[in-house]
Chain A
């Protein structure tokens, strides 16, 4: 049995009095112990919504309207807030995009770390302090002891994100959900942070759900990949295989549109149009208005996710991406 199993997850937000709009429209996901999964999609595809839903953090008036989320066989959706708190930030931690927003600006790093630890562990202040310093050292923060008294504004963006990672690791979680952890950072800092996350996940056998829009980052870090479009998973599989030979026309288009996959001086492949807003989805497959392979059946009904691909006309292994 997989450690985390999400089945047919729907998240809906009300529009008007009776109408509901679905931000997630039936997403399945499994995660084994120590496995690294990448979730890729454009803004509005529902990838952050998926992360929030797993931690039961969907804000009112939105709600999980259907599906189940099981961690070691226990359904998180049926738990009380009290029970879920024992899991959130403890067995499952989260790293968000912008460390300036995640950290409390008026509390010192040490206070925030000790508070997190003592919320989940019955431990003395002194012991907590010691453990926190140790974690700061683990994420390669120079002069860790002194940094405990520093405030977030005194640290650079890269160091702040290291602190956030240290906090996420404090309780020795089994799963870390990282939502665009390096999008706000520069390339060299991104490389530092991703190398650190990769190393820590491997050393501690922690599973990772990495949410990003950057296919390069996913290729570097994850073993499995899931591509989302308009609230659905359109393709999932082993990262290496999918990047070498994508089957869904959207996945193929995304990869082909990358500048590193084009010859210099030649035009880039471009996917026409843009992703429809979830408030105004077309019938059938949500990708059909942009898809070069679309036919009548695509306009009429939604293709089921079969063999890792949700498409009526998937690309063959050897086939080139759509022209």
Chain B
């Protein structure tokens, strides 16, 4: 395997919570507690999990929108998490982000051209006005936007069109790596396929690498190269998309797969007991999934399992009992 384009080592993000003025406790929310991932050039690395599992925080920490509290982030072999703004600026061109909600991520008072020209002006100040215009027009054509959109404002567009503009904005500096945080979940069903196809086409044309954050497993099955399943700030299972659907190893992955509504039916036949995420402020000492896990034993409640290779499967799982 070639050297990874993005790598995290024991990445941690903690958010301090407001302290009560009489209390000495300093509560801390553990959003990421030690995540190691290696993302290979040209792949679609999917991160799935339920809300609060830290998948968005992982994407934001890699891009640099959240400062890691511990651990390391590498981009093309260079450590980037401790760089100052000036040294990091040239790297920002190569890493961009597409956000979930295109109604919130586009500035309503800027025309499409202004929105798209901003990253170039900021990150590539050497470009002349004509070059900027040419680059904006190129990227609009590549993302299926009409050139006439340039002078219009976001409110004139539908959700799908806005998401195309948001993707164009991420692409305008010709990045190698894009973090896509739930890029289709705010869109209507008939539009989702359009945006997924666009992302796949762009990847084929430009050799992009995606970190694709989603909660929708059927999208992962179609679109993903490798998948990391997260739970309470940790990676529970890591495998190729085919393997994870054919042969899930971690009990949490099994629970997730089992919960997908299927066109053939059968997922909702059995009543289920309520289960929920443990408190990320006081995470349990052992495996975070132990309170919901059918396999949990004493060892799971005291000792946190490490992500380990499962023999003869190509999967990695953080479970004492996975095999």
Seen from chain A, the residues whose Cβ lies within 8 Å of a Cβ on chain B are 42-43, 140-142, 156, 158-159, 162, 186-192, 194-196, 198-199, 213-217, 219-221, 243, 253-255, 257-262, 264, 267-272, 274-275
Contacts of A194 in B (CB 8 A): 261, 268
User: A191-B258, A268-B193, A274-B158 in contact; A220/B188 too (CB < 8 A)?
Assistant: no
Contacts of A159 in B (CB 8 A): 274, 276
A162 to chain B, nearest CB (A): 7
Tell whether, in the assembled complex, residue B221 and residue A259 are in contact, meaning their CB atoms are under 8 Å apart.
yes
Contacts of A270 in B (CB 8 A): 190, 193-194, 197
Number of interchain pairs (Cβ within 8 Å): 131
B49 to chain A: closest residue by CB: A186
Tell whether, in the assembled complex, residue A260 and residue B221 are in contact, meaning their CB atoms are under 8 Å apart.
yes
A258 to chain B, nearest CB (A): 7
Tell whether, in the assembled complex, residue A186 and residue B215 are in contact, meaning their CB atoms are under 8 Å apart.
yes
Tell whether, in the assembled complex, residue A199 and residue B271 are in contact, meaning their CB atoms are under 8 Å apart.
yes
- Distance A231 CA – B190 CA, assembled complex (angstroms): 16
Which one of A162, A198, A258, A259 contacts B274 once the chains associate, using CB atoms below 8 Å? Answer: A162
Report if B24 contacts A (CB, 8 A): no
User: A158-B276, A195-B271 in contact; A188/B256 too (CB < 8 A)?
Assistant: yes
Task: Show 25 residue pairs from A and B whose CB-CB distance is below 8 angstroms, ordered by the A residue.
Answer: A42-B190, A187-B50, A191-B272, A192-B274, A192-B275, A194-B261, A196-B271, A198-B269, A214-B261, A216-B261, A216-B263, A219-B261, A219-B262, A220-B265, A220-B268, A258-B218, A259-B223, A260-B218, A261-B263, A264-B221, A267-B197, A269-B193, A271-B190, A274-B160, A274-B190
Tell whether, in the assembled complex, residue B265 and residue A219 are in contact, meaning their CB atoms are under 8 Å apart.
yes
Tell whether, in the assembled complex, residue B268 and residue A195 are in contact, meaning their CB atoms are under 8 Å apart.
yes
A146 to chain B, nearest CB (A): 15
B106 to chain A, nearest CB (A): 17
- Distance A187 CA – B268 CA, assembled complex (angstroms): 12
- Tell which of B160, B222, B269 has the most Cβ of chain A within 10 Å: B222
Report if B266 contacts A (CB, 8 A): yes
Report if B20 contacts A (CB, 8 A): no
B241 to chain A: closest residue by CB: A264
A270 to chain B: closest residue by CB: B193
Contacts of A216 in B (CB 8 A): 218, 260-263
Tell whether, in the assembled complex, residue A271 and residue B261 are in contact, meaning their CB atoms are under 8 Å apart.
no
Contacts of B258 in A (CB 8 A): 191
Seen from chain B, the residues whose Cβ lies within 8 Å of a Cβ on chain A are 50-51, 158, 160-161, 188-194, 196-197, 200, 215, 217-219, 221-223, 241-242, 255-256, 258-276
Tell whether, in the assembled complex, residue A188 and residue B259 are in contact, meaning their CB atoms are under 8 Å apart.
yes
Tell whether, in the assembled complex, residue B190 and residue A259 are in contact, meaning their CB atoms are under 8 Å apart.
no
Contacts of A141 in B (CB 8 A): 274
Tell whether, in the assembled complex, residue A191 and residue B263 are in contact, meaning their CB atoms are under 8 Å apart.
no
A191 to chain B, nearest CB (A): 4
Tell whether, in the assembled complex, residue B190 and residue A254 are in contact, meaning their CB atoms are under 8 Å apart.
yes
B252 to chain A: closest residue by CB: A188
Tell whether, in the assembled complex, residue B222 and residue A262 are in contact, meaning their CB atoms are under 8 Å apart.
yes
Contacts of A162 in B (CB 8 A): 274
- Tell which of B190, B192, B221, B273 has the most Cβ of chain A within 10 Å: B190
Given contacts A264-B242, A268-B196, A270-B197, 13 further A-B contacts (CB under 8 A): A140-B273, A140-B274, A142-B274, A186-B50, A187-B260, A191-B259, A195-B272, A219-B263, A220-B266, A255-B263, A271-B190, A271-B193, A274-B160
Contacts of A142 in B (CB 8 A): 274
Tell whether, in the assembled complex, residue A220 and residue B190 are in contact, meaning their CB atoms are under 8 Å apart.
no
Contacts of A220 in B (CB 8 A): 261-262, 265-268
- Distance A261 CA – B264 CA, assembled complex (angstroms): 12
Tell whether, in the assembled complex, residue A215 and residue B271 are in contact, meaning their CB atoms are under 8 Å apart.
no
Which one of A188, A195, A213 contacts B50 once the chains associate, using CB atoms below 8 Å? Answer: A188
Across the A-B interface, the 3 shortest Cβ-Cβ residue pairs: A216-B261, A191-B259, A259-B222
Contacts of A189 in B (CB 8 A): 50, 276
Contacts of B196 in A (CB 8 A): 259, 268
- Distance A178 CA – B268 CA, assembled complex (angstroms): 16
A183 to chain B, nearest CB (A): 10
Contacts of A213 in B (CB 8 A): 188-189
A290 to chain B: closest residue by CB: B190
B262 to chain A, nearest CB (A): 6
Tell whether, in the assembled complex, residue A267 and residue B268 are in contact, meaning their CB atoms are under 8 Å apart.
no
Tell whether, in the assembled complex, residue A188 and residue B275 are in contact, meaning their CB atoms are under 8 Å apart.
yes
Which one of B194, B268, B273 contacts A221 once the chains associate, using CB atoms below 8 Å? Answer: B268
B127 to chain A, nearest CB (A): 34
B56 to chain A, nearest CB (A): 14
Contacts of A186 in B (CB 8 A): 50-51, 215
